[in-house]
Structure 1
Amino acid sequence: MSLREQVLRGGAFLIARQGLGLVLSLAALFLVTKIIGPSAYGVYASALGLVSFVLQIASLGVNVYLVRSPDLDEKDYQAALALYGWIGLALLVLAFPIGKALQLYTKISGLDWVTTVLLLGLPVFLIGRVFLAKLERTLDFARVAVAELAGSLSYLLVAVPLAWQGWGYWAPSFGWLMSQGVATLLYARFAAIPLRPRWHRERVRAMLEYGMGFSASLWVWQIRILVLPLVVAPLAGPQGAGYVALAVRLVEALSFVKSATWRLSISALARIQQESSRLRYAVEEGMYLQVLALGPFLLAFAWLGPWLVPRLLGEAWSEALLVYPFIALAYLVNGVFSLHSSALYVLRYNWQVSVHVKTWDHPFRMDLRPRGWAGTHRRWSPWNSLPHSSTP
């Protein structure tokens, strides 16, 4: 099977998975948020924002190294498992202090325990990234799709009943832990990598040499995740955080094609990294396809949202539509350049991407004075449109 056929086949599986996952995630989102309300959802979303950032930092780009490196053997996977094992132990120790610090900063009741519980799941999920990297490296996205759909379904089966029983912000929290756990177990089963962590110094060094450059640019970019827990939540409270979190989640769900192409791009572009003309053509063609795939969904919801949201979620959630246009525009512009950043990562221009993102970051952070809960997040929306890619 040619590379083009592999990419098209893998992309079809990922897009189908993202489409089915969109149905499941939106069903769970609408049911859970309608039941628990903006404030409880804001607590969960604030905790998850910090946890997602910690997960990105803890990954150190090792999973991306395992996907794009030309030559790997069993020792590389053993070294990655060992490295993530030690990082996981550190996270177990730091979980409660991080959660407590966030609660003291935001003054939101219950945020410390939710953050702590979510952080306790990260050691297992880090190990799962090694298995996922093996599947993505071989373009086995059919099995990736099965694992992630099972995770989405498990979230629905756990979060919705707990929400009905009055568990508040714990309902989506336990749903998220279950979904990540189920997906991780299936990654491990499908990848068939022996769970034998061993410390191979030279292999770890090679991973970190690549991963630190990748991670530096990603950390600068992923600081945007902290806008919700560190900017919106303290200034607007859990209710305002809930509104912004819902708008972001809706845009992410509608951008399912972008998420699929980002994940496929590094695996695919790594195969042609030595052929500059093919690499350039792939990026240029993908840029137009991204806009055609994203624009109609985002525009359709902009028209239908004012009618759908009050009917599906209730009038209490209507204010989330105030920030939707800014976030949708940011994601659309970002989609145009997502393949450019993938190509730069494949070609090892990691530090250059980091410097570029940091350069553009500074002007958009000059003025963070409160302008209502919507204005707090709107001030940051231009940063989301930088030529970089989000991580699903």
Structure 2
Amino acid sequence: MGAGRGHGEDEVLTGSELKRRAKAGVFVVSTRGLVILLLGFAGNVVVARLLEPRDLGVVAVGMSFVLFAGLVSDGGLGAGLIRREQPPSGEELGALSALQLGLTLAMTALAAAVAVPLGRVAWVTAVMVASMPFVALQFPGRILLERALLYRRLVVVEMSQVLCYQAWAIGTVAAGFGVWGLATATVVRALVGAVVMGCVCPDGLVRPRPRLRLIRPLVGFGLRFQAVNATWLLRDQLLNVCVAAVGGVAQLGLWALAKRLMEVPYLILQSLWRVSFPTMSRLVSDRDRSTRLVQQAVEITSVGMGFVLTALAGSAPGLVPGLFGPQWRDAAAAVPGACLGLAVGGSVSVAAQGYLYALGDARTVLRAGLLQAVTWFAVTVPLLVPLGVASVGLGWCAAGVVEALVIGRATTRSIPVRLARPLIAPVLAGVGAAAVGWAVSARGGGTLWSGLAGGGCSAALFAVAMTVADRHLVRRTCAFAASSVRAALSHRAAEEG
């Protein structure tokens, strides 16, 4: 394709079509995340019964290197093409593909060379890293589909990968191949993804052609964008180290379980983050529409996530021991602070982070991520000994407030939005409702049933309080959720998928 000529998936979208695709994307990506989480959990249960803990540790080492290789090879360059107003040309996609393919092939060769003298763990890592060139082949198609908000097609790719990975991993491990079954399953997953991507997005099949002059304009934004992801990854790893070093391995185990509980609300926010970036990139030149969308996003997210997070916090004293056993009871102490931090920071970042990225202001998001990490450590580490795992939740709460302040301030300098006021009623209602639910759950004996009662009580009280405070906003939130489902299940969406 010639420079400047668009792709079939990257047509100009009308306002109504953009809104429909964005709403459908929220439901599709959220559902996809939940299904993948459940499939992964079921697969892990089966594989864990067939392997030794040491085997899973070897795979964890390999996966760490795969994540690092992904960060380096991506470089955030794809994000630069997603945020741009004009569609990427075939030459640009080919240049990007050549760069990423070259980097991943070099990493694969290096991993194989290092594995020769180091033995089994290094060889398993080398096999897993060998999946990265196939991942690189998917990037052009992913860029085009993300720009067009065609998330049904992306979900087809991702679900195909997960199903093939689980089938290969379970089958080969059961056949006696042990850890090599998991390692080769990583390669199979990437290969299947590349093949399916070629089917659902033929325009993404481009010939890799090294042309650095086409990539150079994307490097600045791309590096800052990827630095944000690297900061989050490093923050999580260092936090685990600090919790283990200061509080002990038992506290780390409690935090790991509490963090797993937070994955469900985090999945919902991830779907909103993912959809907001390409959506705002389409609207950033229209200041009035961008302002309305950011304002609506923070209002609806604060209420919608308030239901989920309030119910989770109120149910924790019974839900945790009821599901996982009484030995995990103390993990519930981290949940309320984590929920509050996610409610504040998540609501603002969903509304504003995509807008800042669309402006090309990855520097502010990076600064927010760094300050968030520093705040989390500054609050958590001194309180670990006296408060235990609850300190990690308090650290998350403080970090969420800092993130909201930094991102919110940068956004309000660009467009006239109110990001703090919409949080007041949901936060106050959520804290009060969660406190009542916590008491119900704890006094009910800390069982699964008392946890469900506490969570239900919290959600009901939150709904009543928010209806009294702003019933129109509650209606708009429910209407948005319903329209997201309708948009995702519509005949038009089925044709696009």
TM over 0.5: yes
Asked if residue 60 in structure 1 is aligned to residue 71 in structure 2, the reply is: no
Q: Name the aligned partner's letter for residue 13 of structure 1.
A: V
Provide the C-alpha distance between the structure 2 equivalents of 1:35 and 1:298, rounded to a whole number of angstroms.
35
Provide the C-alpha distance between the structure 2 equivalents of 1:328 and 1:32, rounded to a whole number of angstroms.
31
Q: What is residue 24 of structure 1 aligned with on the other side?
A: 39
Q: Name the aligned partner's letter for residue 65 of structure 1.
A: G
How many residues are aligned here? 382
Taking a change above 3 Å as real, the CA distance of residues 371 and 256 of structure 1, as seen in their structure-2 partners, is closer
Q: What is residue 224 of structure 1 aligned with on the other side?
A: 235
- Report the Cα offset of residue 154 of structure 1: 3.2
- Report the Cα offset of residue 352 of structure 1: 3.0
Provide the C-alpha distance between the structure 1 equivalents of 2:113 and 2:390, rounded to a whole number of angstroms.
30
Asked if residue 149 in structure 1 is aligned to residue 165 in structure 2, the reply is: no
Q: What is residue 294 of structure 1 aligned with on the other side?
A: 305
Provide the C-alpha distance between the structure 1 equivalents of 2:227 and 2:57, rounded to a whole number of angstroms.
28
Q: Name the aligned partner's letter for residue 205 of structure 2.
A: P
- Report the Cα offset of residue 341 of structure 1: 1.4
Deviations 1:327-350 (Å, cap 9, x if unpaired)?
Answer: 444433332122311111110112
TM-score, normalised on structure 1? 0.77
Residue number among 354, 358, 383 corresponding to 2:370 in the alignment: 358
Residues 71-82 of structure 1: pairs in structure 2 closer than 5 A: 71=86, 72-82=88-98
Q: What is residue 188 of structure 1 aligned with on the other side?
A: 198
For the 8 Å contact 2:145–2:154, the answer to whether it is kept is yes
- Report the Cα offset of residue 291 of structure 1: 3.1
Deviations 1:23-46 (Å, cap 9, x if unpaired)?
Answer: 434444565568769887676556
Residues 260-299 of structure 1: pairs in structure 2 closer than 5 A: 260-299=271-310
Provide the C-alpha distance between the structure 1 equivalents of 2:54 and 2:200, rounded to a whole number of angstroms.
39
Which deviates further from its counterpart, 132-141 or 302-311?
302-311
Q: Name the aligned partner's letter for residue 27 of structure 2.
A: A
Q: Name the aligned partner's letter for residue 354 of structure 1.
A: L
Gapped regions of structure 2 (runs ≥ 5): 1-13, 408-497
For the 8 Å contact 2:51–2:178, the answer to whether it is kept is yes
Corresponding residue SS for 2:284: coil
For the 8 Å contact 1:42–1:241, the answer to whether it is kept is no
Q: Name the aligned partner's letter for residue 222 of structure 1.
A: L
- Report the Cα offset of residue 17 of structure 1: 2.7
Residues 1-392 of structure 1: pairs in structure 2 closer than 5 A: 2-28=17-43, 48-49=63-64, 51-71=66-86, 72-95=88-111, 115-160=125-170, 178-192=188-202, 193-227=204-238, 231=242, 244-302=255-313, 321=332, 323-339=334-350, 340-366=352-378, 368=381, 371=384, 374=389, 381=396, 385=400, 386-387=403-404
Q: Name the aligned partner's letter for residue 138 of structure 2.
A: G
For the 8 Å contact 2:108–2:130, the answer to whether it is kept is yes
Q: Based on CA coordinates, which of the two structures has the bigger radius of gyration?
A: 2
- Report the Cα offset of residue 304 of structure 1: 5.1
Identical aligned pairs, as a percentage? 23
Corresponding residue SS for 1:255: helix
- Report the Cα offset of residue 162 of structure 1: 6.4
Deviations 1:168-204 (Å, cap 9, x if unpaired)?
Answer: 8777666555545433432232221234100122211
Provide the C-alpha distance between the structure 2 equivalents of 1:114 and 1:322, rounded to a whole number of angstroms.
38
Q: Name the aligned partner's letter for residue 198 of structure 1.
A: R
Taking a change above 3 Å as real, the CA distance of residues 59 and 167 of structure 1, as seen in their structure-2 partners, is same
Taking a change above 3 Å as real, the CA distance of residues 43 and 334 of structure 1, as seen in their structure-2 partners, is farther
Gapped regions of structure 1 (runs ≥ 5): 104-108
Q: Name the aligned partner's letter for residue 214 of structure 2.
A: R
Which deviates further from its counterpart, 90-99 or 218-227?
90-99
Which deviates further from its counterpart, 237-246 or 346-355?
237-246
Taking a change above 3 Å as real, the CA distance of residues 365 and 228 of structure 1, as seen in their structure-2 partners, is closer
Provide the C-alpha distance between the structure 2 equivalents of 1:380 and 1:50, rounded to a whole number of angstroms.
28
Taking a change above 3 Å as real, the CA distance of residues 263 and 97 of structure 1, as seen in their structure-2 partners, is farther
For the 8 Å contact 2:375–2:399, the answer to whether it is kept is no
Provide the C-alpha distance between the structure 2 equivalents of 1:294 and 1:34, rounded to a whole number of angstroms.
36
Which deviates further from its counterpart, 58-67 or 234-243?
234-243
Corresponding residue SS for 1:196: coil
For the 8 Å contact 1:38–1:239, the answer to whether it is kept is no
Deviations 1:53-77 (Å, cap 9, x if unpaired)?
Answer: 4423431111212222222210111
For the 8 Å contact 1:43–1:241, the answer to whether it is kept is no
- Report the Cα offset of residue 16 of structure 1: 3.6
State the Cα RMSD in Å.
4.3
Taking a change above 3 Å as real, the CA distance of residues 303 and 173 of structure 1, as seen in their structure-2 partners, is farther
Provide the C-alpha distance between the structure 1 equivalents of 2:73 and 2:321, rounded to a whole number of angstroms.
39
Provide the C-alpha distance between the structure 2 equivalents of 1:162 and 1:312, rounded to a whole number of angstroms.
30
For the 8 Å contact 2:21–2:150, the answer to whether it is kept is no
Deviations 1:320-372 (Å, cap 9, x if unpaired)?
Answer: 65645554444333321223111111101122332343344334445757947
Taking a change above 3 Å as real, the CA distance of residues 357 and 9 of structure 1, as seen in their structure-2 partners, is closer
Q: Name the aligned partner's letter for residue 17 of structure 1.
A: R
Taking a change above 3 Å as real, the CA distance of residues 362 and 250 of structure 1, as seen in their structure-2 partners, is closer
Taking a change above 3 Å as real, the CA distance of residues 42 and 352 of structure 1, as seen in their structure-2 partners, is same
Provide the C-alpha distance between the structure 1 equivalents of 2:64 and 2:250, rounded to a whole number of angstroms.
15
TM-score, normalised on structure 2? 0.62
Provide the C-alpha distance between the structure 1 equivalents of 2:48 and 2:315, rounded to a whole number of angstroms.
19
